[in-house]
Amino acid sequence: MIEDGFLIRPPEAAELPLLARIERRAARLFSPEDLPSALSEHTLPAGMLSDARDAGLLWVADSGGQPIGFALAQMLDGQLHLAEMDVDPSHARRGIGSALLRHTLAQAGLRACAAVTLTTFAHLPWNAPFYRRHGFLAFEPPAGSALADQLRAEAAAGLRNRVAMRRGIA
């Protein structure tokens, strides 16, 4: 998918290590109250990135042949779940996150998923309000669901003010 000045595409295997840099740079936008220091340097495991790439669930925003953002999805509770989306802050406010999100929604449709889910911070403007502008609504995941378990795990890891969100696929 070609957007204004960048391309959304699957990453090359050699680009996977570059995604950790994007993830770390994006994490610097969060205060220690929102993202505890123990988590701010944590990046997605290489095996998870590789598996997602192999499954067709990892996409990068490419500008000039270089990844500047990425989205990683997984199947969770029978729906496509946006597990991580990061944009290098030096490329922020160019529509890259919106393009990655649109691509994720399109991929959910191709996989005949009824919805896309995610977890995010409720109070940060580039989190829940951003997703709300794209049609996502906060919801309480069913007890015993993998998404409910994920929210509990996030809270146990020190993340506060988290919310699950869902958008149906038309």
Residue with tokens 């729906």: 79
Residue with tokens 């994007």: 22
User: How far lies 164's CA from each of 54, 82, 127, in Å?
Assistant: 26, 11, 11
Do 100 and 8 touch, CB atoms closer than 8 A?
Answer: yes
In which band, very low, low, confident or very high, does the pLDDT at 35 lie, cut at 50, 70 and 90?
low
Kindly report, residue by residue over 59-84, the tens digit of the pLDDT. 999 998 999 999 999 999 999 999 99
Least confident of 47-61, 66-80, 87-101: 87-101
Backbone angles phi, psi at 115, to 5 degrees: -160, 165
Task: Say what the pLDDT of residue 158 is.
Answer: 81
Kindly report, residue by residue over 117-133, the tens digit of the pLDDT. 999 988 777 788 899 99
Task: Say what the pLDDT of residue 154 is.
Answer: 87
> Where does 67-135 have alpha helices with state H?
96-110, 128-133
Task: Say what the pLDDT of residue 152 is.
Answer: 93
Question: Does the structure show a pLDDT above 80 at 170?
Answer: no
Question: Does the structure show a pLDDT above 90 at 102?
Answer: yes
Domains of the chain: 2-168 (3.40.630.30)
Torsion region of 41: left, alpha or beta (phi above 0 gives left; psi -120 to 50 gives alpha): alpha
User: How far lies 78's CA from each of 13, 58, 93, 116, 118, in Å?
Assistant: 27, 18, 32, 10, 13
Question: Does the structure show a pLDDT above 60 at 36?
Answer: no
Tell me the two tokens of residue 62.
């490419």
| Spatial separation of the C-alpha atoms in residues 83 and 74, rounded to whole Å | 7
User: How far lies 117's CA from each of 38, 47, 88, 112, 166, in Å?
Assistant: 26, 22, 23, 14, 4
